[in-house]
Amino acid sequence: MKSKLGSSLSISSWAPDDKPREKLRDKGASTLSDAELIAILIGSGNRDKSAVLLAKEILAAASHSISGLSKFTLHELVRFKGIGEAKAIVIMAAYEIGRRNYSKSNKKRIHIKDSNGAYQVLFPKLACLPHEEFWILYLNNANRVIHEFQLSKGGITGTLVDVRLLLKKALQVGAVALILAHNHPSGTLSPSEADKEITRKIQQGARMMDIKILDHLIITREDYFSFADQNLLL
């Protein structure tokens, strides 16, 4: 028996009330759900699912979050039935446009006043990575970021931190304060003993150069942990 959806589930074949393109045109992009936005990108579904249902399937695999799309590689996206290479590339390109725009807009708020301010700068760099990275924000005496530096890039469960390189860069850029940050791909916010130990080690080295460690953030897709907010800095 032939499916009611037919063999073609392109958006153009839907009922008027179900067309996200027309909904965007008539009511604005903000009225669309995440699934409807992705459906516009992919244009059509497969023999069994409309573009919106396929988009919902992709979002479910991305932990029901647009930000979760970043974890998919091109090869992983094309595993979804109805997503070929061209559609996968469109999804990845659209996400990257959003990430870059978010990153650039946050550079206007480069004056760090608290842990949330630092999180806003670091979120687009770290939140959705499938591996750990360790980043440093180098600040002047007005707590304005003068340099952002990826200190290391590691595996799923950890990354090496070169304290000497970190402090050398601080001297090169003339920083008087630092904010440390790394991500936990697992989603765990609690700092490990290794996290605490490397923080103490960096603080000890920085103190000898009259450089302050203002905070160490652990960042996940959904939230962050602040050493300063939890009074874990020496």
CA atoms within 13 A on the CB side of 194: 7
- Per-residue pLDDT tens over the stretch 158-195: 678 999 999 999 999 999 999 999 999 999 999 999 99
How many whole angstroms separate alpha carbon 169 and alpha carbon 231?
Answer: 26
Which residue matches tokens 């939140």? 127
Answer for the pair 224, 189: CB distance below 8 angstroms, yes or no: yes
The confidence score (pLDDT) of residue 3 equals 39
Residues 13-39 have a mean pLDDT of: 80
Where do the H-state alpha helices sit in 62-143? 74-77, 85-106, 115-126
The confidence score (pLDDT) of residue 109 equals 46
Quick one: angle between helices 34-42 and 51-61, nearest 10?
Answer: 120
How many whole angstroms separate alpha carbon 122 and alpha carbon 103?
Answer: 9
How many whole angstroms separate alpha carbon 163 and alpha carbon 44?
Answer: 51
Answer for the pair 81, 46: CB distance below 8 angstroms, yes or no: yes
- Per-residue pLDDT tens over the stretch 119-157: 999 998 999 888 899 999 999 999 999 999 999 998 656
Q: Which helix (H) or strand (E) holds 35?
A: helix 34-42
How many whole angstroms separate alpha carbon 139 and alpha carbon 7?
Answer: 58
Q: Phi/psi zone of residue 213: left (φ > 0), alpha (ψ -120 to 50 degrees), beta?
A: beta
